[in-house]
Amino acid sequence: MSDNTLPATAGATQALISLIMLAQQLQSEKDGIRRPDPRSTGAGAGEEPDKPAQQVQRACVYEQRTNRLPAWLEQAFPADHSRGKTA
Q: Is residue 44 part of a domain?
A: no
The verdict on residue 71 lying in a domain is yes
Q: What is the pTM of this model?
A: 0.34
Nearest to 9 by CA among 70, 80, 73: 70
Q: Work out how many domains the chain is built from and give that number.
A: 1
For residue 31, being part of any structural domain is answered with yes
What does the pLDDT profile of the chain (87 residues) look like in tens digits? 454 555 557 677 777 777 887 887 787 777 777 666 655 655 555 556 667 777 778 877 877 777 777 777 777 777 765 555 554
Domain that holds residue 68: 11-37+51-75
Residue 86 lies in a domain: no
